[in-house]
Each structure stands twice: as structure tokens, then as C-alpha cells.
Amino acid sequence: MSEVRLNILDTNRAICGTIHGSVTNAAVAGLSAEPETIEELQDAMARFIKPVNDFRPFAAFDAGTNDEPWDAGIIFICRGFDRG
């Protein structure tokens, strides 16, 4: 099983955790919905992976970021920042 360390940042907060690499595919695909918050990203991900027993993909994540090396790598997703 390949795990990645996923860091997600929006304009209000940052979270991080380790997940199976396949979940990151759904996270990247969820970006097509142009989410502005972490919660919106989780909702968009439901189109690509079915939630099990109402478990949210980032429920066990910690606050903040973590750039320490991990099994299959590190991913950062940053949403909701002003591009101007």
C-alpha cells in the first residue's frame, strides 16, 4: 500500500494527514468543481469516491501542514487564494 502525505490549504486553514495514494486522485479530480474551502473539496470528492458510513476523507487529518518525507511522497493542494 502506497501512502502519501496530503497537505490541503484554503484561505482560512491548513490540514494534513497520510492517506492511500488513490485518494489523492479523487482530491485532484475534485478540484474540477473549483472548491474554495476544504469542506467544498470533500463534497466534490464524493463524485469520484463513495463515502463509507458518512466518513469524511479528511476527518482524521491534523491542523497545519507537514512537509516531512513520506512513503510515496508529499502533495500540497492550495485553494481559495487571491490570484491578483
Q: What does pLDDT average to over the chain?
A: 89
Mean pLDDT of 26-38: 93
Residue ranges making up the domain that contains 73: 3-78
| Banded model confidence at residue 79, pLDDT cuts 50, 70, 90 | confident
80 or 31, which is more confident?
31
What is the number of structural domains in the chain?
1
**Order of strands across the sheet that contains 3-9:** 62-63, 14-20, 3-9, 74-78
Query: Is 84 a member of any domain?
Result: no
Segment 36-48, tens digit of pLDDT: 999 999 999 989 9
Task: Report CA torsion sign: 32, 50, 54, 1.
Answer: negative
pLDDT for position 81: 58
Query: Is 83 a member of any domain?
Result: no
pLDDT for position 54: 77
